[in-house]
Structure 1
Amino acid sequence: MKIDARSVARVLREPGALRAILLHGEDTGLIRERARQAATAIAPQLDDPFRVAVLDRDAAERLEEEIFSLSLRGGRRVVWVRDGGDSLTAPLKASLARESDTLVIIEAPGLASRSRLRALVEAQASCAAIGCYPEEGRALEGTIRQSLGEEDIRIDADALAWFAGLLGPDRAAMRGEVEKLALYAGRGGHLTLDDVRTCIGDAAGVSLEDAAFAATAGDRAGADTAIERALAEGTSPIAVARALLSHLHRLRRARIAMDSGQSRADAMRGLRPPVFFKRTESFGQALSLWSAERLMDAAEQTQALEKDCKQTGSPDLALCRRHIARLAATAAILRRDR
């Protein structure tokens, strides 16, 4: 059966009598995290070879054998398959026809919607299919707040919004940055915007923000340097596109406010989260160059960039570099023609 987003946490925390959990989608970090949660719910010690069997992509021929093996020390067993695919369909179907309390957990990133394995799991009441896709916006902020809350750490709204805007789509990378914040704050701590910037000031996301601000202000050299640093630090091309899109939308909101009669300073102060004080000059320069219409065109081109970067085999790094260069060149032309 399919598991809706509201029920995922409960299912992973209490798998109950489920025979199999299929984790599919685009976020490999989230898939691995959820697989670990489900496995730990059954076998708290994941290094126990009597209760946990981990199989690779060639697991089809061993799946039934592992499912019906007995734990020498007692307790329910877990068979954890990594990088699963349709080859598991037949052995899993045969296993479900026999009695067993073993929980099968299958990581299947990139599994097609018409997959035979997915169809089997979704059709069985004793199985759970869970989609794992990158979180954005409020969902991502909620996950960050919840993770910090586990250490009784509070974070200001502007700091949370700024931090969420820096993160790429990979859950594992996000967890790493959240853990860094938690160590910085300490249990029971409180994080402000300045705290977050100080803590992750060397993160790839800061380089990415540098690239966005420099490009829209017409600073080609600064934009090129920043995007190379961000890519070298592991930022994905899709994260580049999403960060640029967020920046362009913020510029457009401020530009529309100015067109309706607000001063530039008031328009910038009205944004949430507010523009960081060290960025106000660059942001203001961009506002003086770009019209709301041109910003919308740039946003549409950036959306096209994200789509292109998702195509298999696309030269995504080159596409990112070219897009940044085009934005900077456009801003430079606008400045020259003022």
Structure 2
Amino acid sequence: MKIDARSTARTLAEIGKWRGVLLYGDDLGLIRERAAQCVRLVAESLDDPFRVAVLDQEQHGRIEEEIGALSLIGGRRAVWVRDAQDAVLARVTAALQIESDTLLVIEAPGLASRAKLRAALDAHPKIAAIGCYPEEGRTLIASLADLFREAGIAVDRDALFWLSSVLGADRAAVRSEVEKLVLYAGESGKLSLDECQECIGDSAGATLDDATSAAMAGDRAVADIALERALADGLSPIALARACLSLMTRLLRVLDWMDEGKSRQEAVKMLRPPVFFKKVDSFTKALERWDRPGLVRACEAVQGFELACKQTGSPDLALSRRLIAQLCLGPRSFQR
């Protein structure tokens, strides 16, 4: 059964009521985290050899055998299938016909929307099919707040906004940085914006924020290096588009305040979350290079870039490099 995004948290918390779960999508870190959550809820462990069977791609032939096996020490078992694609459909179908209370957890990163495995399990009444896609915007902020709340750490709202803008969308990377901040804050601690920037400022150096801010400031060398690092880390071109639009929106907001009579310095200080101190120079250069018409045309171009990247077979990496090159050239590259 396909699970709506709004029902995902409740479904995962009650996964013991289901026969199995299919986790698919583009965020491998989120898929792995949710799979571990399901296994732990049912088997009470991730590495108990009597209650947990982890099947990598070369072990998919054992799915039916493991589903039918009994725990020698009692308790419900979990079969954790990784890197699943359409090739496992026949074995999964056969396994679900076996009378068993074993939970079947299937990780299927990158599974196509028209894949036979997804179609079959979307329609299965006892399987929860859950999409796992990179979080952004309010969804990412809410997830960050939940992670800190679980750890008993209070975080200022400005800090959450800033973290959502620099951590990117990969769940594994986000959790890693959150764990670092939790350790920094200490038991029942509290984190301010300054403390978050001090703690992870350096580790956020190779994010999309570097590529977009350098490109808007006209620094081609820094922008290209940052983009290639992001691409090597599995950058989603859609995330690049959102990062560009976020920065452009902030620049337009500053121009609005300047039109109202504020000085450039006053307008920049009014931004929330504030500009990261290491990015103040590039943000100021961008303000000097871009006027309102140029920013509006660039926003339209970025929206077109995002749409093109969503087309089947799109050369999205090449389009990402071209977009950064255009931004480095400035407003003249977006003239109608």
Aligned to 1:31: 31
Compute the displacement of 1:137 (Å). 0.8
Aligned to 2:97: 97
Distance 1:20 1:207 in 2: 36
Compute the displacement of 1:133 (Å). 0.8
Compute the displacement of 1:91 (Å). 2.7
Distance 2:9 2:171 in 1: 15
The one-character-per-residue Cα deviations of 1:199-235 (angstroms, maximum 9, x if unpaired) are: 112114466434433332334455455556x549847
The 1:112–1:219 alpha-carbon spacing in structure 2 relative to 1, beyond 3 Å, is closer
Distance 2:284 2:43 in 1: 55
Could you tell me which runs of 5 or more consecutive residues in structure 2 were left unpaired when the two chains were aligned. Answer: none
Q: Structure 2: which amino acid aligns with 1:102?
A: T
Compute the displacement of 1:172 (Å). 0.6
Aligned to 2:235: 236
Compute the displacement of 1:304 (Å). 4.4
Aligned to 2:148: 148
Q: Which moved more, 1:57-66 or 1:196-205?
A: 57-66
Q: Which moved more, 1:129-138 or 1:95-104?
A: 95-104
Aligned-residue sequence identity (percent) comes to: 53
Aligned to 1:201: 201
For residue 323 of structure 2, give the secondary structure of its aligned residue in structure 1: helix
Could you tell me which runs of 5 or more consecutive residues in structure 1 were left unpaired when the two chains were aligned. Answer: none
How many residues in Structure 1 have an aligned counterpart in Structure 2?
331
The 1:175–1:247 alpha-carbon spacing in structure 2 relative to 1, beyond 3 Å, is same
* Equivalent pair of 1:12/1:41 in contact (CA under 8 Å): no
Aligned to 1:62: 62
Aligned to 1:106: 106
Compute the displacement of 1:147 (Å). 0.8
- Structure 2 length as normaliser, TM-score? 0.86
Q: Structure 2: which amino acid aligns with 1:285?
A: K
Aligned to 1:119: 119
Compute the displacement of 1:84 (Å). 0.9
The 1:184–1:98 alpha-carbon spacing in structure 2 relative to 1, beyond 3 Å, is same
* Equivalent pair of 1:205/1:235 in contact (CA under 8 Å): no
* Equivalent pair of 1:60/1:87 in contact (CA under 8 Å): no
* Equivalent pair of 2:290/2:330 in contact (CA under 8 Å): no
The one-character-per-residue Cα deviations of 1:158-200 (angstroms, maximum 9, x if unpaired) are: 1111111012221111111111111111121111111111111
Distance 2:189 2:254 in 1: 33
CA RMSD of aligned residues (A): 2.8
For residue 16 of structure 2, give the secondary structure of its aligned residue in structure 1: coil
Aligned to 2:175: 175
The one-character-per-residue Cα deviations of 1:78-132 (angstroms, maximum 9, x if unpaired) are: 1110011222222322333332101100001121222222222222222111111
Q: Which moved more, 1:75-84 or 1:285-294?
A: 285-294
The one-character-per-residue Cα deviations of 1:219-266 (angstroms, maximum 9, x if unpaired) are: 4455455556x5498472634443333212211222234345554344
Q: Structure 1: which amino acid aligns with 2:68?
A: F
* Equivalent pair of 1:57/1:85 in contact (CA under 8 Å): no
Q: Structure 2: which amino acid aligns with 1:236?
A: L
